Amino acid sequence: MLKSEKIKNKIRNEVYLDENEIIGKLLQESYLSSKQKTSIKRIATHLISECRLEKSKHSMLDAFLMEFGLSNQEGVALMCIAESLLRVPDKLTADRLIAEKIKSGDWLTHLGNSKSIFVNASTWGLMLTGYVVELDDAIQTSTSSWLKRFSSKLGEPIIRKAVSKAMKIMANQYVIGQTIDKALKSKTASDVFSYDMLGEGSRTETDSIRYFNSYKNAIERIGVTSNQNESVILNDGISVKLSALHNRYEAKQETSIFTKLYPRIKTLCLLAKNYNIGLTIDAEESERLDLAMAIFERLASERELRNWNGLGFVLQAYLKRASKVIDWLNALAIETQSYFMVRLVKGAYWDTEIKRAQEKGLKDYPVFTRKENTDICYNHCVYLLSIYQSNLYAQFATHNAYSMALITEIFKEQNFEYQRLHGMGEALHTQMHELKYSKAKTRVYAPVGNHNDLLPYLVRRLLENGANSSFVNRFLDEKEPIYKLTQHPSEKVSKYKSFRNNSIQLPKELFLKSGDGWLNSCGVDSQNLNEIKLIESNYNQMREKQYEAHSLLAGKKICNKSRVQRNPYNSQKIGSWSAATEHDIAKLIKFLNKNKPNQISWPLYERTDALTRLASLIEKNVFELAWLLSIEAGRTIEDALSEIREAADFCRYYTSCATKLVSENQIEETAGGIFLCISPWNFPLAIFVGQVVAALVSGNVVIAKPAEQTPLIAYKAVELFYKSGVPSSVLNLLLADGLTTSKLIDSDLQLSGVAFTGSNSTAYKIQTSIANRSDRVSFIAETGGQNCMVVDSSALPEQVVDDVIISAFSSAGQRCSSLRVLFLQEETADNIIKMLTGALQSLELGDPTHIKTDIGPLIDNNAIEKVNEHIHRMKKDAKLIAKKDITKSQKSKRILSPHIFEIKNINQLKEEIFGPVLHIIRYKQQEIDSVVNQINNTGYFLTLGVHSRIKAFSDFIFKRTRHGNFYLNRNMIGANVGVNPFGGSMLSGTGPKAGGPNYLFGFSKLQMNQDNKITHEKDTNTNFEKITATTNLVHNEIEILSSFQTWRDYSIDERLNTSLIYKTSYTQIKRIKSLIELPIELSSPTGEANSLSYEPRGIIIFIPSNEMKEKIIIKNISTALICGCAIVLISNKKTFGLCSKIIEDFDLKDRELQLVSHYDLSQLQFLLKNKYLQNVLIEESHVKLKYIEQEFSQCCHGILNIINPIESLGQINLNWLMGLVIERTKTENLVASGGNTQLFNLN
């Protein structure tokens, strides 16, 4: 094996090296003498001092960054404007963007601070703008009246033009020209450049070809000016991003990359060689390093490229394996008799690397967590390049005086060059040459492109250099002592207790910092070539394996007539299973009813220990579980790995929650019930495990009933439950069809509750079965969603396309959270639709056991038929935008062509379509109320996404909707346990949210009442047919609906600032506010914010019993009103007078709101048919309860929510309040609004 191959293998194996160990070794390196260290400090000090004196040479951006860094709100506001303003096509959105971001800053504090005319002029402009767009009164009154009068004469169009101009001025500091010809004209004869054709990676094949032609044209134009007789290092060059040449530049698509991308980069290299210029492969994210090295290695071995010294490689020093890459480059140069250019940079994607590792649950970070550690590695790489300079031409990209001084000291007069970014660091590099410390030239990295392409690049540069720790941000600041800037990084690092930054937790420890912390699940990196080979190796070993599954009831395996189980993709036999019979179920019922007290004597500490072990067992069996998910459920490898992590997270999170809730006396240590858990086929492991773990850890006996399509996965999961220590007596696996399962619910089993995830139609059948029982059974349901995303014109189109493709087509659209309807603002709709069409074509459809596959099969023929029927209808009633064609063989393998249609209104969709079909609706900005109404009128409130850089826009939509999961500037799928708990309301389910802090309440003893059978007393009012009723109560809006819609938007304090305050006690108010007033900040990966808030559940039907006292009725009504609900009070003849008196006390005339209405019992039947009424406050022993359940179960407009009235304020706890409120999570991608400033400022 060649030396380079050995080193390359080592590099692949050392992605996640221990940071303490690496830095410890590097600190022991003694490549600098004490004399050299003194010299370096002296040179660096001199450089900084001279730069500070030569103020005329400071760039506009040097001053701008020093004044508006990332540590103040004004800097962040400018980041957001810089990132988005120049691409916004419509004036209204641009005005709103400017108004909001300028309002967020206190510009007066910056006025006159800088010595830059541009910065001060900008500050004045921004300050004036703040007044034009009506800043808060508190800020306005702090300025003299003439300023307000002056600014009020200006208008928003002038402001928009002024701010846009300022952004363009700033942007133009970084870009040398919008075309290569303009760029070439702007350079002088003494300048040496490496041109970069801007663009943040292609999204379509059309993009890739366009970028290729752009590079090709640039090389030809640069080549015309090059000197054929000079060394290639003396000519201008070009930098190429491989992600621009292939829209799927990722390890999973390696075959396609070498088929499509490689010929393109080879062509560009041959062209560059012909013109005697350098071509450098630019650095990208760390997971692409292996691919870049493989492509570089092949290029280096091409005969046609021999005798060309222009092939270059960019190396990022923040990579833990950076020094090994230099060793590899040197070995490769020797083996191929080449001379490579190596550009050493600090690294441009640090925040992305940290975020990805946390989200994927990787072993560690591929990058250093301290900037000083990156500097130590950079310096070590400088030393290595000095050793290897006979084979490698060193190019040092830096704006750091200390780094430049160190390079000068190590390299002396040897052959190398400095590099800097266009628009930055000019003063420092000029001083280096003027002070004659080095004769090495400086090459300028010069971006070429229009403003739209510049924006992401600009933000990345601002992030890198605007942070508190950035040298660029500090070295011109005269308040910053020079000695702090000239310390060797090892001097700083040696003072830390740990070399790695413990403020940035390891991915597995990400959630341990929270009060009820839990270990993050371990992930498999499906973009790592080593781990891809490991996945493929394990899959290949299992291809011939056959599985079997049987019911496991009352501790026994029940083997009945065998049924063949087939792969949904190719119909091949993968195993067999047998279903339980009615006789088996009868024996189980008898066993459970007889032995229930013995089965639930399992202590909490034993339960949590066993279920924590289960998490580890799930992770240990990751490849077999992933294989089963692929061959039985059609899950792609990526989806399967993600689902396995979710299952492990459920185990650890719920055990943590149980321990905390029991210790706080919020739930009992042992609920003591029997729970039936019915899970779906689309998440056959994660949801199955999540339901069962929640029920078990709460102290219940469980009957787990998986979907008929996925019995093998469930059987394997239960084997792991038993192996972890869960007794077979408390966990039963029931393999049966829906009809057989319904008989279990209809039986005399002492059933406590049902946890269900699936379709609305099945949920209604279960609700009917429960209603017909003689006892109370709690029902937790998570059903479907008509999930929408709203995109305004300030959104980044590339990000929108990425998130839409993931949200709509992952798992073949077979997720409850999948995106179904995309609302696009008309100004940007055409462009986004064009990009979506191209991106759709790049998706890989096929065998889910292949790593490259993006979309696998639909689960069965019924699913195929239903989605095809919808597609056929849409082809008649809508406009077909795009579809991905499939082969004849794929049609026979349940692969369905993904489709995108354009429709006029969401009401064209009659139901949720569970497949890869996306619908697009265009809207005008002034029609946003109509958009919100369309979304709300579906009745589904599960997931909702917004893409916008305007906070007010997203806040408006959030406030006007009720969706359980709200996503801002990110995709809408993949809710993480404990991070963004999942679940909705109305047609989308009951709550509490799965994976949330309140989920275990649904399995607690308070939610069950097993000891008391509900008695049916004779009631003369049950025959409602003969009673004359207000039938419009069924279909029309009831009279208090409009008041409720106003009331629910009030804060608790605003609700109490009415006459309601006189009907409440201080203890009552304090208790409610402490539990539900403020959003809960949830644990999050870096660059993301997650919060859980409580909002009113709706209008509550309240039926007091004959014996209920007035003060108890008032207490329950006032509590519901404080929570934002409204009340429909129902009375009979005995309670009519009392209820009539009470509602007068709750008439909020001061706000013209009627929040409590009163109806006679005769109207109940009609009220239950009203879609707005799904909540009933009634005692569980009430004679009407069973009637209500039965009547409501026939309505099919949601799941009934029964709330047991409280008698004392001591009963008010979060568990009880969950009957009056719904949970909503908001997940925001902070990086989209100006970058991950929090991480960059982390010390």
CATH number at residue 332: 3.20.20.220
On whether both 778 and 837 belong to a single domain, the answer is: no
On whether both 1020 and 1062 belong to a single domain, the answer is: yes
- Tens-digit pLDDT profile for residues 806-849: 999 999 999 999 999 999 999 999 999 999 999 999 999 999 99
Question: Domain end: 782, 804, 823, which one?
Answer: 782
The three state secondary structure string of 157-222 is HHHHHHHHHHHHHHHHCCCCECCHHHHHHCCCCCCEEEEEECCCCCCCHHHHHHHHHHHHHHHHHH
Concatenated DSSP letters of 946-964: EE-S-HHHHHHHHHH---S
Numbers of helices and strands, H then E, in the chain: 49, 37
Residue 244, burial from CB neighbour count under 10 angstroms (0-12, 13-18, 19+): buried
Question: Domain end: 129, 153, 171, which one?
Answer: 171
pLDDT at res. 267? 98
Other beta carbons within 10 angstroms of residue 547's beta carbon come to 20
Average pLDDT along the chain, 1243 residues, taken 10 residues at a time: 93 94 92 92 92 68 54 60 73 77 58 48 45 36 37 51 67 80 84 87 92 96 92 95 95 94 98 97 95 98 96 97 98 97 93 94 96 95 96 95 94 90 86 85 90 66 54 71 89 91 93 82 94 96 96 96 96 97 94 78 93 98 98 98 98 96 91 94 98 97 97 98 96 95 94 96 94 92 96 93 97 97 97 96 96 96 96 97 90 91 96 96 95 96 96 94 97 95 95 96 72 40 40 61 90 89 87 93 92 96 94 94 94 92 79 88 89 91 90 89 91 93 95 68 58
Name the nearest CA neighbour of 136 among 168, 94, 175, 108: 108
Question: Domain end: 171, 197, 218, which one?
Answer: 171
Domain membership flag for residue 998: no
Distance between CA 323 and CA 316 in Å, rounded?
10
Residue 564 lies in domain: 552-782
Those residues with Cβ within 8 angstroms of residue 586's Cβ, 6 or more apart along the chain or in another chain: 747
Structure tokens at 1161: 């019992």
Give the active site residues.
782, 816
On whether both 937 and 832 belong to a single domain, the answer is: yes
Distance between CA 42 and CA 964 in Å, rounded?
60
Name the nearest CA neighbour of 1093 among 1002, 1003, 995, 993: 993
Domain membership flag for residue 1099: yes
Name the nearest CA neighbour of 48 among 472, 395, 375: 472
pLDDT at res. 762? 95
On whether both 167 and 187 belong to a single domain, the answer is: no
CATH number for the domain harbouring residue 833:
3.40.309.10
Domain membership flag for residue 459: no
pLDDT at res. 83? 65
Domain membership flag for residue 287: yes
Domain membership flag for residue 36: no
On whether both 857 and 905 belong to a single domain, the answer is: yes
Domain membership flag for residue 486: no
pLDDT at res. 414? 85
On whether both 604 and 689 belong to a single domain, the answer is: yes
| Number of structural domains the chain divides into | 5
Structure tokens at 597: 């007290």
On whether both 157 and 295 belong to a single domain, the answer is: no
| Overall residue count recorded for the chain in this entry | 1243
Asked if residue 261 lies in contact with residue 245, where contact means CB atoms within 8 angstroms, the answer is yes
Those residues with Cβ within 8 angstroms of residue 986's Cβ, 6 or more apart along the chain or in another chain: 939, 940, 941, 962, 1174, 1198
Cα dihedral sign, 1064-1065-1069-1072: negative
On whether both 135 and 196 belong to a single domain, the answer is: no
Residue 639 three-state SS: helix
Name the nearest CA neighbour of 432 among 135, 805, 54: 54
Q: Which residues pair with 902 in a beta bridge?
A: 879, 920
On whether both 959 and 890 belong to a single domain, the answer is: yes
Name the nearest CA neighbour of 498 among 943, 24, 83, 854: 24
Q: DSSP alpha helices (H): ranges in 1156-1204?
A: 1164-1167, 1185-1193
Distance between CA 1186 and CA 1178 in Å, rounded?
11
Asked if residue 228 lies in contact with residue 480, where contact means CB atoms within 8 angstroms, the answer is no
Distance between CA 1003 and CA 810 in Å, rounded?
31
On whether both 1038 and 1124 belong to a single domain, the answer is: yes
Distance between CA 782 and CA 760 in Å, rounded?
9
Those residues with Cβ within 8 angstroms of residue 365's Cβ, 6 or more apart along the chain or in another chain: 16, 19, 320, 353, 354, 357, 504, 506, 507
CATH number for the domain harbouring residue 1080:
3.40.605.10
Residue whose entry in the numeric block shows the structure tokens 């609305």: 760
Asked if residue 698 lies in contact with residue 1000, where contact means CB atoms within 8 angstroms, the answer is yes
Domain membership flag for residue 912: yes
Q: DSSP alpha helices (H): ranges in 683-759?
A: 686-697, 711-724, 738-746
**What b-and-e string marks burial along 783-800, b requiring 16 or more CB atoms within 10 Å of the CB?**
bbbbbbbbbbbbbbbbbb
Domain membership flag for residue 1057: yes
Distance between CA 11 and CA 3 in Å, rounded?
12
Is the bond into 157 cis (omega within 30 degrees of 0)? Answer: no
On whether both 78 and 10 belong to a single domain, the answer is: no
On whether both 208 and 311 belong to a single domain, the answer is: yes
